[in-house]
Chains A and B, each alone.
Chain A
Amino acid sequence: EDQVTQSPEALRLQEGESSSLNCSYTVSGLRGLFWYRQDPGKGPEFLFTLYSAGEEKEKERLKATLTKKESFLHITAPKPEDSATYLCAVQGWSGNQFYFGTGTSLTVIP
């Protein structure tokens, strides 16, 4: 069964302190791995799609990377406005379903 595990569950960083969030997955043929940001009381907001091992995508202070078993979301010099829950999801070639992890709650302290 397709599965996604995110770690850590929660992360507190000082402003400017870089770190990484992990997304481990098992899927029968990866069609895509997706990263989303979710603010409290709102719907998830799309960040990145990764398709194959070795691929990297960047957006402002965020960089997503992908291997055959996991993806990392690297946050460089974070700011308080980066505080949110970051969700990872995978879609396999076998069906239409997207499987989401439970997310990492990031708090960036000024």
Chain B
Amino acid sequence: TAGITQAPTSQILAAGRSMTLRCTQDMRHNAMYWYRQDLGLGLRLIHYSNTAGTTGKGEVPDGYSVSRANTDDFPLTLASAVPSQTSVYFCASSDQSSYNEQFFGPGTRLTVL
């Protein structure tokens, strides 16, 4: 079972450019999440989705947007990247009927220059 896949694995992006980070899960989980992980700050929630068609803002949503057209996919878009968005991005999913433990993808390392 693949679980959660993320693409790309890593990316170098020029400031001002846009980019979409992809996340796909095959566990049929209803909830999905995007986090960024920065040294000394831990994992911080960017956006989440409780079910297909709905999204919500997390702790650090500015500069990011998400969509949830179906159960499996939850892309994260940076419309105009800035250097402070350099980070490692993790996608996660959970089945809210199963005690909410989250399963994480392998991450995308993004560098904005």
Considering residues B35, B56, B100, B103, which has the most beta carbons from chain A within 10 angstroms of its beta carbon? B100
**Cβ–Cβ contact A96 & B105, under 8 A:** no
Interface size class of A (residues with CB under 8 A): 20 to 34
**Cβ–Cβ contact B41 & A102, under 8 A:** yes
Is B7 positioned at the interface, with any CB of A under 8 Å from its CB? no
Stretch of B12-20, B43-51, B64-72, B75-83 contacting A (4+ beta carbons < 8 Å):
B43-51
Identify A46's interface contact among B43, B48, B90, B101, CB under 8 A: B101
Is B102 positioned at the interface, with any CB of A under 8 Å from its CB? yes
Is A78 positioned at the interface, with any CB of B under 8 Å from its CB? no
- Contact A91 B107, CB 8 Å, known A97-B58, A97-B59, A100-B43: no
Cα(A36)–Cα(B99), bound, Å:
15
Q: Which residues of B contact A32 (CB under 8 A)?
A: 99-101
**Cβ–Cβ contact A45 & B42, under 8 A:** no
**Which B residues lie at the A interface, using CB under 8 A?**
4, 31, 33, 35, 40-45, 48, 50, 56, 58-59, 90, 92, 99-107
